[in-house]
Chain A
Amino acid sequence: MVKAVLPNDVVITGLGVISPLGLGREPLVEALAQGVSAVRPLTRFPVEPWTQARLAATVPDFSLEEVTGNPKESARASPLFKFAWAAAHLALQNANLALEGELRERTGIFVGLSWFIAEYLERLLKKKHEGRLHEILPIRIENIHPYGSAGQLSYLYKIVGPTLTFSAAGQSAIQALEAALLYFERGRIDTALVLSPDVLSPYRFHCEAAAGLVSSSSDPENAPRPYDQGADGAVPSEGAVALVLERGQAARARGAKIWAQVRELRTLSRPSRFPPAPEGIGYPPETLTGLLNQLDWDRISVIYGDGKGIPSLDEAEARGIRQALGSHAPRVPLTSVQGCLGDAAGTSALFQVAAMVQSLSSSLIFPIRNLERPFCGQELDYVVGQSRRAEIELAVGLSYGWGGSHSLILLQRPE
Chain B
Amino acid sequence: MESKGKLLITGMGALSPLGIGVEAFWEALVRGECGVRRVSNFPVEGPLYQSKIAAEVPSHDPIPWIKETDPALEGRYGSLALPALGMALQDAGLEPGGDVLARADLYVGSAQETADTLEKSLDSWVKGELERIPADAFSRVIPHAVTSALARNYRIRGRAISLTSSCSSGVLALMLCTDWIRSGKSEIGVVVGADAISPLIFAGESLTGELSKRNDDPAHASRPFDRDQDGYIIGEGAVALVVETDSHAQARGARPYASLGPFAATTDGTSFRYIDQEGTQISRCLSMVLQEVPADRIDHISAHAPSIVALDRAESKAIRRTFGEWADRIPVTSIKGAIGNPSAAGGLLQIVSAVLGIRDGVIAPTLNLENPLPGCDLNYVQRSPRRVKMSTVLISAHGGGGLNAALTVHACCSESRRGNSAGS
Q: Footprint of B on A, CB under 8 Å? A: 1, 3-5, 48, 50-51, 104-105, 109, 113-115, 117-118, 121-122, 124-126, 128-129, 133-134, 137-142, 144-148, 150-152, 154-155, 158-169, 171-172, 175, 179, 182-183, 185-186, 188, 203, 206-208, 210-213, 267, 269-277, 280, 401-405
- A105-B284, A182-B179, A182-B183 known; A405-B160 Cβ under 8 A: yes
15 sampled A-B residue pairs with Cβ under 8 A: A1-B157, A122-B126, A125-B123, A128-B48, A154-B269, A160-B267, A167-B113, A167-B162, A172-B144, A186-B179, A210-B138, A211-B139, A271-B160, A274-B148, A405-B160
Is B259 an interface position by the 8 A CB rule?
no
Which of B179, B273, B281 meets A141, CB within 8 Å?
B273
Is B394 an interface position by the 8 A CB rule?
no
- CB contacts (< 8 Å) of B160 on chain A: these are 168, 269, 271, 403-405
- A166-B161, A182-B179, A271-B160 known; A160-B269 Cβ under 8 A: yes
Interface pair A133/B203, CB less than 8 Å apart: yes
Interface pair B144/A169, CB less than 8 Å apart: yes
- CB contacts (< 8 Å) of B133 on chain A: these are 203, 206-207, 210
- CB contacts (< 8 Å) of A154 on chain B: these are 267-269, 401-402
Is B166 an interface position by the 8 A CB rule?
yes
Query: Once the chains are docked, how many angstroms separate the CA of A121 from the CA of B142?
Result: 14
Distance between A399 CB and nearest chain B CB, rounded to angstroms: 14
Which of A117, A142, A274 meets B145, CB within 8 Å?
A274
Interface pair B163/A167, CB less than 8 Å apart: yes
- CB contacts (< 8 Å) of A118 on chain B: these are 118, 122, 141
Query: Once the chains are docked, how many angstroms separate the CA of A212 from the CA of B137?
Result: 11
Interface pair A169/B142, CB less than 8 Å apart: yes
- CB contacts (< 8 Å) of A166 on chain B: these are 161-164
- A168-B162, A211-B139 known; A402-B269 Cβ under 8 A: no
Interface pair A139/B207, CB less than 8 Å apart: yes
- CB contacts (< 8 Å) of A105 on chain B: these are 266, 284
- A141-B272, A166-B162, A273-B148 known; A121-B401 Cβ under 8 A: no
- Which chain B residues (113-158) contact chain A, with CB distance < 8 Å? 113, 115, 118-119, 121-123, 125-127, 131-139, 141-145, 147-149, 151-152, 156-158
Name which of B48, B131, B143 has the most chain A CB atoms within 10 A of its CB.
Answer: B143
Interface pair A3/B159, CB less than 8 Å apart: yes
Interface pair B151/A269, CB less than 8 Å apart: yes
Interface pair A124/B135, CB less than 8 Å apart: no
Query: Once the chains are docked, how many angstroms separate the CA of A274 from the CA of B399?
Result: 30
Is B201 an interface position by the 8 A CB rule?
yes
Chain B residue nearest to A48 (CB atoms) is B132
Contact indicator per residue, chain B 178-206, by CB within 8 Å of chain A (1) or not (0): 01101101100000000000001101110
- CB contacts (< 8 Å) of B265 on chain A: these are 161-163, 188
Distance between A167 CB and nearest chain B CB, rounded to angstroms: 4
- CB contacts (< 8 Å) of B270 on chain A: these are 155
Interface pair B172/A164, CB less than 8 Å apart: yes
- Which chain B residues (356-409) contact chain A, with CB distance < 8 Å? 399-403
Is B165 an interface position by the 8 A CB rule?
yes
Interface pair A269/B158, CB less than 8 Å apart: yes
Q: Footprint of A on B, CB under 8 Å? A: 47-48, 70, 72, 102-103, 105, 111-113, 115, 118-119, 121-123, 125-127, 131-139, 141-145, 147-149, 151-152, 156-166, 172, 176, 179-180, 182-183, 185-186, 200-201, 203-205, 207-208, 265-273, 281, 284, 399-403
Name which of B135, B142, B149, B161 has the most chain A CB atoms within 10 A of its CB.
Answer: B142
Query: Once the chains are docked, how many angstroms separate the CA of A213 from the CA of B142?
Result: 14
Is chain A's binding surface mostly helix, strand, loop or mixed? mixed
- CB contacts (< 8 Å) of A134 on chain B: these are 47, 207
- CB contacts (< 8 Å) of A213 on chain B: these are 138
Interface pair B131/A161, CB less than 8 Å apart: no
Interface pair A165/B165, CB less than 8 Å apart: yes
Name which of A138, A169, A270 has the most chain B CB atoms within 10 A of its CB.
Answer: A169
Distance between B202 CB and nearest chain A CB, rounded to angstroms: 12
- CB contacts (< 8 Å) of A147 on chain B: these are 111, 164-166, 399-401, 403
Query: Once the chains are docked, how many angstroms separate the CA of A141 from the CA of B148?
Result: 27
- CB contacts (< 8 Å) of B126 on chain A: these are 122, 125-126, 129
Interface pair B269/A267, CB less than 8 Å apart: no
Query: Once the chains are docked, how many angstroms separate the CA of A163 from the CA of B166?
Result: 10
Query: Once the chains are docked, how many angstroms separate the CA of A124 from the CA of B400?
Result: 20
Chain A residue nearest to B270 (CB atoms) is A155
Interface pair B200/A1, CB less than 8 Å apart: no
Distance between A17 CB and nearest chain B CB, rounded to angstroms: 24
Interface pair B132/A207, CB less than 8 Å apart: no
Query: Once the chains are docked, how many angstroms separate the CA of A161 from the CA of B265?
Result: 7
Interface pair B166/A145, CB less than 8 Å apart: yes
Interface pair B179/A148, CB less than 8 Å apart: no
Interface pair B272/A148, CB less than 8 Å apart: yes
Chain B residue nearest to A121 (CB atoms) is B122
Interface pair A210/B185, CB less than 8 Å apart: no
Chain A residue nearest to B210 (CB atoms) is A141
Interface pair B135/A272, CB less than 8 Å apart: no
Chain B residue nearest to A280 (CB atoms) is B139
Interface pair A162/B122, CB less than 8 Å apart: no
- CB contacts (< 8 Å) of B118 on chain A: these are 117-118, 121
Name which of A5, A139, A140 has the most chain B CB atoms within 10 A of its CB.
Answer: A139
Chain B residue nearest to A130 (CB atoms) is B126
- A206-B133, A403-B144 known; A145-B179 Cβ under 8 A: no
Distance between A345 CB and nearest chain B CB, rounded to angstroms: 9
Query: Once the chains are docked, how many angstroms separate the CA of A101 from the CA of B76?
Result: 44
Interface pair A276/B272, CB less than 8 Å apart: no
Chain A residue nearest to B131 (CB atoms) is A50
Distance between B288 CB and nearest chain A CB, rounded to angstroms: 9
Distance between B174 CB and nearest chain A CB, rounded to angstroms: 12
Name which of A109, A147, A211 has the most chain B CB atoms within 10 A of its CB.
Answer: A147
- CB contacts (< 8 Å) of A113 on chain B: these are 164
Query: Once the chains are docked, how many angstroms separate the CA of A199 from the CA of B403?
Result: 25
Chain A residue nearest to B126 (CB atoms) is A125
Query: Once the chains are docked, how many angstroms separate the CA of A403 from the CA of B200?
Result: 27
- CB contacts (< 8 Å) of A145 on chain B: these are 111, 166, 272, 400-401
